[in-house]
């Protein structure tokens, strides 16, 4: 199957070789406001740029986890890439543990937020709007021992195009002293024709395999990117004592819905903010199980132009006090009875412009996690 989109800077075309899902239901095209890479594959099942029913998002993490061998040599370290794949990685970890019953699988997220504690390693995502990733040393002794002794690495991102980011991360782990016996590369879509996994000696687990070709338009002006390439501590830094993955976790705290009290059939949109996405997703999933009609999405720092898979965009200030713009895509207030914005930085940190635009309720981390 061949699909393509004409952007203002060129044409992006893909050939789908294998797909476990209908490709049209899995992804769409969009245009990055980024001169380093002008195109973007927008996932429709990730809960980041397109609102999605929690059950659909959970089906993808369950299907991906099913492709990871149960008998990987342990300990197993599952890494989710910030910011887009943090919830995806956490869901894959949770479903892998549920399926295998393993107690030696750690989930660790990359981040662009220094926590004031020691770093284990850093690596670069050269084409990104925010290039530098951090991985912190786990502070829990057992989790640290498992992570440093990991014999298997499971690396999770939303998509692979060239595979360079995976290669950079695998190399950074090796420089830090990790010598994994097995590596598994997990993506929703792999556009490298399998070369990304091959380059790092990994098993490839994906819902779609294919190849892409981008033809730039001669004379097209380069897009201007907002100043979002910031890796720093802001005025509203995350609380490390309420970690959900930046310092490593073995399991994920269940969601509490008492603060929401959903009505059967109530149309609710749950929004994560930045890297704080998996606890809000678990809240959305619990609300769906309670009978509400739920969609899940998230605020992002990724600058994307309107067009193709991106129909609407809101811009506002970030809630970490970094002084950078944040964006919300494909969300309007009209389809929902309630919009819930979930934050790990406290109510006062959220830009009132976002709250006013969505007539939103704000939920803090402590209100949604047991």
Query: Hey, what long-range contacts does 304-307 have (CB within 8 A, 24 or more apart)?
Result: 304/30, 304/31, 304/32, 304/33, 304/40, 304/42, 304/49, 304/329, 305/8, 305/30, 305/31, 305/32, 305/33, 305/223, 307/7, 307/30, 307/31
CA 183 to chain centre: 20
Q: Strand (E) positions, 249-350?
A: 267-273, 293-299, 304-305, 313-317, 325-329, 338-343
- In the numeric block, the tokens 């598994």 are attached to 184
Q: Buried b / exposed e across 208-220, counting CB within 10 Å, b at 16+?
A: bbbbbeeeeeeee
Per the document, the length of the chain is 370
User: Which whole number is the average pLDDT over 197-208?
Assistant: 97
Q: Is the pLDDT of residue 126 over 70?
A: no
Which residue ranges form the domains of the chain, and what is each CATH number? Answer: 252-368 (3.40.50)
- Which segment of 143-147, 148-152, 158-162 scores lowest on mean pLDDT? 158-162
What are 171-197's pLDDT values in tens digits? 999 999 999 999 999 999 999 999 999
Three-state secondary-structure class, residue 72? coil
The helix or strand, by DSSP H or E, that contains position 81, with its residue range, turns out to be none
What are 84-101's pLDDT values in tens digits? 999 999 999 999 999 999
* Residue of 200, 194, 368, 164 whose CA lies nearest to 286: 368
* pTM for this prediction: 0.96
């Amino acid at each position: 199957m061949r699909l393509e989109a004409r952007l203002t800077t060129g044409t992006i075309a893909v050939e789908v070789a294998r797909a476990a899902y209908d490709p049209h239901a899995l992804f769409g095209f969009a245009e990055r406001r980024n001169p380093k890479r002008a195109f973007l594959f927008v996932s429709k099942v990730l809960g980041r740029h397109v609102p999605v029913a929690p059950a659909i998002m959970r089906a993808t993490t369950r299907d991906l986890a099913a492709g990871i061998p149960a008998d990987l040599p342990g300990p197993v370290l599952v890494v989710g890439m910030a910011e887009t794949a943090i919830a995806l990685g956490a869901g894959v970890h949770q479903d892998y543990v549920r399926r295998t019953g393993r107690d030696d699988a750690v989930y660790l997220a990359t981040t662009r937020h220094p926590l004031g504690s020691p770093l284990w390693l850093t690596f670069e995502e050269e084409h990104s709007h925010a290039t530098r990733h951090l991985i912190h040393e786990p502070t829990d002794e057992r989790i640290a021992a498992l992570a440093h002794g990991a014999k298997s690495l499971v690396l999770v991102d939303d998509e692979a195009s060239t595979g360079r980011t995976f290669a950079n991360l695998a190399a950074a782990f090796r420089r830090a002293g990790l010598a994994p016996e097995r590596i598994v590369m997990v993506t929703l879509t792999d556009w490298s024709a399998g070369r990304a996994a091959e380059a790092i000696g990994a098993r490839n687990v994906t819902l779609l395999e294919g190849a892409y070709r981008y033809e730039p338009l001669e004379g097209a002006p380069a897009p201007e990117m907002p100043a979002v390439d910031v890796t720093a501590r802001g005025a509203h830094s995350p609380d490390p004592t309420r970690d959900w993955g930046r310092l490593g976790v073995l399991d994920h705290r269940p969601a509490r819905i008492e603060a929401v009290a959903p009505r059967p059939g109530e149309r609710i949109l749950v929004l994560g903010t930045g890297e704080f996405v998996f606890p809000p997703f678990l809240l959305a999933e619990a609300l769906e199980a309670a009978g509400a009609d739920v969609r899940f999405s998230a605020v992002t720092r990724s600058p994307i132009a309107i067009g193709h898979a991106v129909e609407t965009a809101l811009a506002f200030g970030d809630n970490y006090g970094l002084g950078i713009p944040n964006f919300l895509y494909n969300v309007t207030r009209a389809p929902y009875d309630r919009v819930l914005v979930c934050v790990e930085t406290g109510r006062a940190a959220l830009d009132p412009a976002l709250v006013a635009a969505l007539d939103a309720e704000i939920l803090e981390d402590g209100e949604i996690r047991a």
